[in-house]
Structure 1
Amino acid sequence: MAGWRGENGTWGRQKGKTRWIVSLLALAALATAATALAGEEPVPAPAGDAGALDPTDPVRLRMRLLAELDAQIRADAARRHLEARLLLDRVLPIAYLGVDADADADGMRLTKVYPDTGAEAAGLRAGDLVRTVAGDVTDSAAALGRAIRRHHVGDHLEVTFLRGEEARTTDVVLTARVEEDEDEDEQYPELIRTGVRSSAPASFAFDGPTGSLPEGLLPRLGGHGAAPGYAVVKEAGTSFLRQTANDKTGIRFPMAVAKDTVLGDGAIRVRFRFQGGEQDRAAGVMLHWQDEMNYLVARANAVEEDLRIFRIVNGVRRTLPGARAMGISDDDAWHTLEVRAEGPKLTAIVDGRIQAVGYDTYLPAGRVGLWTKSDAVSDFDDFEIEPSEASPSGPR
């Protein structure tokens, strides 16, 4: 699609009846304003930098500005996260014993006792074998973590331990965990979800009452624009689900999410057909869905004539490397889309012949759902979710 140079240093392009005119000065001002809001001055690109702002190349300019804005957003999010943790340290402190330990026979062998902690004040030393804390047997890291989590900062706990062959008992006063010691994965491994299984198989035939979304599916919207318009309709004696809201907003993804279904490894199948859309004609299946901004989707698009698998993270959509196959036709026939997840491998197949394969480890499991784009009016039927027998991963 050709771009053209307009007056006053603006760029535009034509698509259908819609023209976008982007002011280079406005974009530069936007980047400067965003940088200023973060409290930093913009850094000019070095001379000859391939990513330098080029007033004759709107694509490179846009990419550079978006990259700078994304960097500021990430930096701001990191600062806010730290501020939130510091606030929680004050209002909801975590009780802290002050030791490192490894599992040993009948207890936890202390490998380090940190200064200015309850463990040091109570006289515990590296090499001591802690057997119980407040009456709870501590024969694993998880057991020790649970024993401490049951209490609060300032509580007195009786700790029994062996020093050499001598059995001893001491009173430990729990202190607040220090700011630098923030590794929950290491301190509380039993709380990290690594073994949540997929839900039972589920299916939606869309044979119920017309005019609304069936029980068990939730309407959600990715991007922006009009709300999703999913509803069961009946034509020529056949019922199916249709997404009817035809808002032409480009970054708009109407979703119907299965609320009680979690999938790690497994297969998803649905029949679909394209019924309308000027901006887009698309239908897809989401998997490993965390929220409207983070999920995977395999979709067929009649406008682009392809099948793709996307990963969406923080609202940014990217095709998984190599996960694109051509051959989708623009017709009103019913087609079948099957998506299989096997560990990191994702396979999408349309009508048993058009196949796209991609790999992802960032989103190992989550909910599933149906997906369309922009003003696409798409029909769905016979939506089936079939988890593998052993699907070890759970939602993030």
Structure 2
Amino acid sequence: MALADPPPELGRRLLATRRLTLDLAAPLSDADATIQPMPDASPAKWHLAHTTWFFETFILRDHAPGYRPFDERFPFLFNSYYEGEGERHARPRRGMLSRPSLDEVRTYRIHVDEVLERVLPALSPELLDLVELGIHHEQQHQELFLTDILATFAANPLEPAYGRFEPAAHASTDALQWTEGRHGLVEIGAPAAGFAFDSERPRHQALLHPNAIADRPVNNREWQEFVADGGYSTATLWLSEGWDWVRSERIVAPLYWDAEGTAFTLAGRRPLDPAAPVAHISYYEAEAFARWAGARLPTETEWESFAATADPAAGNQLDRAGPVTPSSGPGPFGDVWQWTGSAFLPYPGFAPAEGTVGEYNGKFMCGQFVLKGASCATPRGHSRASYRNFFPPSARWQFTGVRLARDS
């Protein structure tokens, strides 16, 4: 991993990232921050502590002279899945951690941040690379923070709003258009220079057959037509596993929709905007819709090639604390992550990062599908065309949508 910026810029981004996480948590009570609505989601308080544990463990513990951990019990509570760091609290029971309090977790963050700021100028290039990784890791958790608190409030019959804001302006509901994609040999994956996760490398050649990709994601109006046409009750549209999932979970619409044409959002329940990109759909739903529409999901290579010249910092993404919502911005980035038809598998020549941080991506390369782009909850500047988000096919509590593709 090459250092992306000189240390002063790295320090500025580190502090800005750490500050944004606290800003996102500012509207929450201790009770709000403790609840875990489902095993896939984590309490807001846990996100604040885990991202701090990451810096304490991989930067300060062994590389800050004289550093003593804030609390010797915290590594057991706030390790996520790093086997190399030992035993940990069970993920489905994170919501049982009424202690430490939210204020104690904030104090933990202050303690670690003060030491980070002090030792940053003296860190080796290798440790600065780990700081860079930690920034991107925390940005991932900022998005998880928002999607998890949305799931938390949606589980409350009172449906409390995380915040208040004006509905975003959306594009028209005009029929989607098709853009011819590249074909032949193309290169995908992150270049050798600059930050990227290990799963994005090495850059390599891939073969593309003639294809076309839609100029925008599928919107709510189109998804309502799918629902009205019996999309969720027509077995022939679904993969076998998807059909089993639909029936066993009694799925009839995207997550957070109701029968009255509204959806629950971070700003509370609101009428569906027909022009907004459909959000909170699973891979199973995306694949069934594509079949219904006479199209298919793009491959990872098709999507990355399509987006290669686009500005990854454009579009509707997270800039500051506050509620977010898909708003149908231009370009391939922002609004919703987009499911592809590609499994999350290693690239030819893939090698995980050295050390315990090598558990970050590689061990999840089974049973997951790749999503590309960015969402309205993705911190601006976090994503790029080579970025490989991934989730299991039933996941839909994230801001996940779909952009269609077809052969041409």
Identify the TM-score tier after normalising by the shorter chain.
under 0.3
What's the TM-score once normalised by structure 1's chain length? Answer: 0.26
Larger Rg: 1
RCO higher in structure (CA 8 A, sep ≥6)? 2
Higher strand share: 1
